[in-house]
Amino acid sequence: MRSSSPLTVLRHRSFATFWSAAVVSDIGTWMQAITVGVLVAHTTGKATATGLIGIAAFATQGIGSPIGGVLADRFDRRKMMMGALTAQLLVTFALAAVLARSNPRVSVLTGLVALQGLAGSFGQPAGQALMPSLVPREDLLKAVSLGAVSWNAGRIVGSALAAVLGLLLSPSWIVSINGLSFGVLIVAVATVKGTFRAPQVGERGSFVNQFRVGAHTLWQTPGCRFAVVGLVCLQTTLIAWVGLIPIVAQERLHGGRGLASVITMMQGCGALIGAMCTALLVGAIGRPRTMVVFSSVSVVALLGYSQATNRWVAFPFVVVLGACTLGLFVCLGAVVQRDAPDHARARITSIQSAVLGTGYGVGVLLSGRLADSFGLDKVLAADALAFAVIVSISVMVKPLRRQWAVVGHGDPRSRRWERVVAQQAGPVRTAP
């Protein structure tokens, strides 16, 4: 009997090498994010400015990811990723140089963080498209889970290091360490062996036409369509609180850099729990029911967090939020990896990245702007309720309900769910 533990995927040497270096890079990324975010929150005292610096690296994905997706389906995906990482390294050192000056302008910091994110977004689709070349299809959910472990282990360790090193080093030096972490990942990607070109299926035409083909393929693949739409809804509502952690720590919980780092670490701890448990829970009750459970608990946890005025009350809600929202990301992201045709995989994952970055940016900016006018507690509660309404409609309305069976396609414990939905809502379309 195959183990459901995501750690078993590390038996694939190429994936283990790639993943280990990604952990180092993610630690550096979170060190920078906390350091720069707290600096802006302390300098401006505004939720809008804090949210803007928090989403700058993600908002540019809407521009860079589609371009990177088309190129990654044309050229060698490994070389594409290495080139993007090199560009990120150079921009990171430029950001460090600006921080070395006294009183750097927030607009300049935001622009450089956005440029850093833009460089990364060119290579992100190539990196995601590499995944099926590193692990077999049956291990994709575990690989996506461990990818989340990497990101959130980086969140925990990076946040802790940001708090400690912030007492010893200047922000410029901390960001420089992040630049070095990109170098570690470049070396690891260079050592991964294999063939990383997409199969060519005779597509011709301009860049725009090839992107349109990728978008059409995504929309015509039911699992990918449901997952991407679900991720957009998640990013624009439930996840906005992440970008506002520094201002919540300062204004509602009466802390500073140290408290923002602790909250981020608590979220990371919860996310690690979610990453390790998602595959086990999917194996026990199926992906659709797992997602409903995660969605329901996330809403309750965000409502609790929105009303907390004491850090010790907020911490448990943060852990639960980290676990459940990460579980939703893993479930939906694994569906995209499972169902995307290989010839268009990079384009599909690039659209996924673009809508994730854009959705997160819109959600954080809107929530930050409204929070400056109406208060953080009211806006965070409204985000939770908006997500609850979206999930309730998708489960209760029959034409939408059948799509939950598409998400569960291929999960043995979801067969009964598929039969029930088929009886209630008609034939179920599943991805090939």
Q: What is the pLDDT of residue 256?
A: 63
Q: What is the pLDDT of residue 427?
A: 46
Q: Average the pLDDT over 275-300 and give the result.
A: 86
Quickly state the pLDDT bin for 417 (edges 50, 70, 90).
Answer: low
Instruction: Tell me whether residue 430 is in a domain.
Output: no
Number of domains in the chain: 1
Instruction: CATH number of the domain at 323, please.
Output: 1.20.1250.20
Quickly state the pLDDT bin for 1 (edges 50, 70, 90).
Answer: very low
Q: What is the pLDDT of residue 428?
A: 43
168 burial type by CB count under 10 A (0-12 exposed, 13-18 middle, 19+ buried): exposed
Q: Is the dihedral of CA 44, 50, 52, 56 positive or negative?
A: positive
Residues in the chain, overall count: 432
pLDDT at 180 over 50: yes
Q: What is the dihedral of CA 409, 415, 420, 425, to 10 degrees?
A: 20
Instruction: Tell me whether residue 195 is in a domain.
Output: no
Q: Give the range among 302-311, 315-324, 344-353, 405-414 with minimum mean pLDDT.
A: 405-414
3-state secondary structure of 393: helix
C-beta atoms surrounding 316 within 10 Å: 15
Instruction: Tell me whether residue 432 is in a domain.
Output: no
pLDDT at 297 over 90: yes
Q: Please answer whether residues 332 and 238 qualify as being in contact, where contact means their C-beta atoms are separated by less than 8 angstroms.
A: no
Q: What is the pLDDT of residue 203?
A: 55
Q: What is the pLDDT of residue 3?
A: 56
Phi, psi of 205 (to 5 degrees): 115, -175
Q: Which residues contact 223 (CB under 8 A, 6 or more apart)?
A: 335, 336, 338, 339, 406, 407, 409, 430, 431
Write the pLDDT tens digit of every residue in 211-255.
888 888 888 888 888 888 888 888 888 887 777 777 777 777 777
Q: What is the pLDDT of residue 423?
A: 53
Instruction: Tell me whether residue 196 is in a domain.
Output: no
**Residue-number span of the structural domain to which 249 is assigned:** 6-190+206-425
Quickly state the pLDDT bin for 50 (edges 50, 70, 90).
Answer: low
Q: Average the pLDDT over 339-348 and give the result.
A: 80
Q: Which of 74, 78, 79, 76 is nearest to 204 (CA)?
A: 74
Instruction: Tell me whether residue 198 is in a domain.
Output: no
pLDDT at 420 over 60: no
Question: How far is C-alpha 152 from the chain's CA centre?
Answer: 10
Q: Give the range among 25-39, 142-156, 206-220 with minimum mean pLDDT.
A: 142-156
Question: How far is C-alpha 243 from the chain's CA centre?
Answer: 12
pLDDT at 319 over 60: yes
Instruction: Tell me whether residue 50 is in a domain.
Output: yes
C-beta atoms surrounding 303 within 10 Å: 17
Radius of gyration for the chain, computed over Cα atoms and rounded to the nearest angstrom: 21
Q: Give the range among 19-23, 399-403, 411-415 with minimum mean pLDDT.
A: 411-415
The C-alpha atoms of residue 343 and residue 346 are separated, in whole angstroms, by 8
399 burial type by CB count under 10 A (0-12 exposed, 13-18 middle, 19+ buried): exposed
pLDDT at 176 over 60: yes
Q: What is the pLDDT of residue 400?
A: 74
Quickly state the pLDDT bin for 294 (edges 50, 70, 90).
Answer: very high
Instruction: Tell me whether residue 241 is in a domain.
Output: yes
3-state secondary structure of 175: helix
Mean pLDDT computed over every residue of the chain: 79
Q: What is the dihedral of CA 62, 67, 69, 73, to 10 degrees?
A: 170
Element (H, E) at 137: none
pTM as predicted: 0.70
Q: Which residues contact 134 (CB under 8 A, 6 or more apart)?
A: 12, 14, 15, 18, 143, 192, 194
Q: Please answer whether residues 105 and 52 qualify as being in contact, where contact means their C-beta atoms are separated by less than 8 angstroms.
A: no
The C-alpha atoms of residue 190 and residue 33 are separated, in whole angstroms, by 26
Q: Please answer whether residues 428 and 402 qualify as being in contact, where contact means their C-beta atoms are separated by less than 8 angstroms.
A: yes
Share of the chain above pLDDT 90, in %: 5
pLDDT at 338 over 70: yes
Q: Which of 176, 186, 87 is nearest to 127 (CA)?
A: 186
First to last CA, the chain: 26
C-beta atoms surrounding 137 within 10 Å: 10
Q: Which residues contact 62 (CB under 8 A, 6 or more apart)?
A: 354, 355, 357, 358, 361
Quickly state the pLDDT bin for 317 (edges 50, 70, 90).
Answer: very high
Quickly state the pLDDT bin for 411 (edges 50, 70, 90).
Answer: low
The C-alpha atoms of residue 395 and residue 404 are separated, in whole angstroms, by 8
Q: Give the range among 182-186, 282-286, 377-381, 416-420 with minimum mean pLDDT.
A: 416-420
Instruction: Tell me whether residue 19 is in a domain.
Output: yes
